[in-house]
Structure 1
């Protein structure tokens, strides 16, 4: 005998199951890899971005962040994201130069006058905007920039001039610009994964490194190198990237939410970076006994002047370097 109530109940159950199925299909989880730890300001800023994406999409897009190179070092992450095996990654302009030459514009030593000049370039649609979009069709696209501070040399001895770098093996990122800069300053550049650097400094595999001051405390490099020489040779932005395959999984509304949250996180990160860097410098001095050495930058500037001249003449990055110079 036909049971109307049972039929309706079964129909409603089926409808609810179908609705739940569609809802679960609509949810997207994106894995984001980076090489810093959870206390690093860039991690905190990306977590803020992930929280905003979740809110803006009503939980339809979840970004799970994997710190400390748990999904591979920075280079490996870039290769995974380019192939579509990884959704998102934090890299930087130095690493990205090998994948897209335009990022090399940011790697020219002493290009930026100060932080204000740096942000003008990043926020300029004709400079920062076009460079982020330049990798479309190459497997990934740029979403936003994060301030990673100015980079200086640190070692077991003070480095007050390029003369002090002669004969030293200096850990650098694997980019043509970093290699050329270090050679012009008289040192021997040694590309090495960031996660391996503490042991390399401790065991003398390399004599020095170059990074922002947070590396002294957050990566504990100040335990094995006691002199941070403030030559401030580059200000290289970190870059948040997403695989084109993962980007295509998102609806236009979800893409807009991700872009908006990424842009917001860049600007909140600006203040966070300053605050946390000041705190880490204080810790490095008071807890680890690191000496911060003021240097005359002019000899360093003169040593790498050929790089600036070469960059201006380069048909790819030259127009961008000219535009950045014009913003001074």
Structure 2
């Protein structure tokens, strides 16, 4: 357990004032990004539907600490809630790393949302309860794509290339399955590593590629949408249980209700990013459905095996729920 930021502790003394319940919600994105914009929409819905009894105070851009500090703050009760990228929670809850498996969620948004809303999503959220937090919702936050300084004309082109990944055995196996090698590097070192050839390529959502200017030091981009970037909404259990059941339902429904608008906002940001990237010197190619299926066929089983090895019986049970639902 690490020490929480001074900012988190300082905020614990905020008085309740006129509201019956105040929830401070910390996250890492800027105020212009989809997560924050739609958190504000949720806050407005919750305030309206509880007659002002529940107030969400939203703190963006890591104002309350890094994600680990915010997650532990929620666990300890120093913070009421956080919205975290699932990729940052694998050390806290190994079960959530199921989302690292390539093409786990279909690129068809309606089918992907059915998985979030169904037995799989419910089981994934429930896995947080044994970690001292309450999983309230899953939110879509984009999909990863491949870039490289070497050609990516087809699947065989991945062989022998070096890709940067987050420190994840699942992602390493994803690239091993394509004959490529994966190197875990800190995100802050990625631009220079691409520029100097430490790695040939990387995977990230299009808006991240644009924002971090990776396209300026890469020659090829394949819009593969192979990896789902999901957010997890986590609440402190004591705060959550202190709410009347009616208010808990209002909050859960509000997080679900804004998903179509959230998805549309993110899609627009991605489309804008693709247009801007395509105007540069990088070669851009959109993978066909047949190619995406071939990628899934090669990558899914090795990544699945790495996940179960990491998450054990809990992971195996979650995969069983996922595959049963996905087959329907």
TM-score normalised by the chain length of structure 1: 0.76
For 2:235 and 2:82, how far apart are their aligned partners in 1? 7
Structural mapping, 1:46-195, within 5 Å:
46-115=39-108, 116-124=110-118, 126-160=119-153, 161=155, 163-164=157-158, 166-172=160-166, 174-185=167-178, 186-193=180-187
Q: Is the partner of 2:210 in helix, strand or coil?
A: helix
When structure 1 is superposed on structure 2, of 276-285 and 307-316 the one drifting more is 307-316
Partner of residue 285 from structure 2, selected from 265, 282, 293: 293
Please provide the CA RMSD for this pair.
3.2
| Number of residue-to-residue matches in the alignment | 302
For 1:222 and 1:39, how far apart are their aligned partners in 2? 21
When structure 1 is superposed on structure 2, of 71-80 and 264-273 the one drifting more is 71-80
Deviations 1:179-215 (Å, cap 9, x if unpaired)?
332343322231535x665565556665432122111
Partner of residue 202 from structure 2, selected from 209, 220, 231: 209
Q: Is the partner of 1:293 in helix, strand or coil?
A: strand
For 2:86 and 2:242, how far apart are their aligned partners in 1? 26
Contact persistence 1:88–1:243 (CA under 8 A): yes
Deviations 1:18-76 (Å, cap 9, x if unpaired)?
xxx98547341413222x22222222222211222232233333323333334333344
Contact persistence 1:230–1:293 (CA under 8 A): yes
- Which position in structure 2 is the counterpart of 1:9? none
- Stretches of structure 2 lacking an aligned partner (at least 5 in a row): 1-14
Q: Is the partner of 1:292 in helix, strand or coil?
A: strand
Q: Is the partner of 1:317 in helix, strand or coil?
A: helix
Q: Is the partner of 1:276 in helix, strand or coil?
A: helix
Contact persistence 2:161–2:200 (CA under 8 A): no
For 2:261 and 2:104, how far apart are their aligned partners in 1? 24
- Which position in structure 1 is the counterpart of 2:301? 306
For 2:219 and 2:183, how far apart are their aligned partners in 1? 20
> In the TM superposition, what is the alpha-carbon distance from 1:151 to its structure 2 partner?
1.4
For 1:74 and 1:22, how far apart are their aligned partners in 2? 25
TM-score normalised by the chain length of structure 2: 0.76
CA 1:318–1:226 in 2, change beyond 3 Å: closer, same or farther? same
